[in-house]
Structure 1
């Protein structure tokens, strides 16, 4: 049995897509020291030392970490700030 999508289903999917927040993602790089990344996360985002360290370890071990989530414009500002600090960062929709 196959499911049939109705017009209402599609509209709800469109609304869910629009409501999805955006994310600032910081990526691992071979240049910046781990202590510097922690410093940036603490200084710019105001994260506590344990949270900044946790995020830095995700970047180091997994290759990236989501450091902020919200409106696209704000995530673009965060990404630009990370670039100003010399970190590699991108913006993406949540769930991508």
Structure 2
């Protein structure tokens, strides 16, 4: 007795691979995204610097520089990366009680070299 199996969805899976690759290619221009920390009337400057050091691993000098930018300018881009990475960082900053948002990076704004430290 022999059993024949009709072609099913598993045999057609290979034809869908090109679609997934083209979606990945289209998403690539969306990188990078910025994590913006905003000034607030609640958190102490020393605490904000501590969060930058402990979470991102920034040096005390870099953390203090970013904290002072938040304090004086009202905001600072503290890191950048893929949208998913930056969204995770924003959630973590909310857990520390900081006001953080995610914005798409533009080629003309921000200071080059800032926010190169990434976690994750």
TM-score by length of 1: 0.80
* Alignment partner of 1:43 is 2:54: yes
- How far apart in 2 are the matches of 1:84 and 1:20? 25
TM-score by length of 2: 0.64
- How far apart in 2 are the matches of 1:70 and 1:24? 9
- How far apart in 1 are the matches of 2:30 and 2:97? 31
Moved over 4 A (4+): none
Q: Secondary structure at the match of 2:100?
A: strand
Which has the greater radius of gyration? 2
Pick 1 or 2: higher relative contact order, CA cutoff 8 A, min separation 6.
Answer: 1
- Quote the RMSD (CA, aligned, Å): 1.6
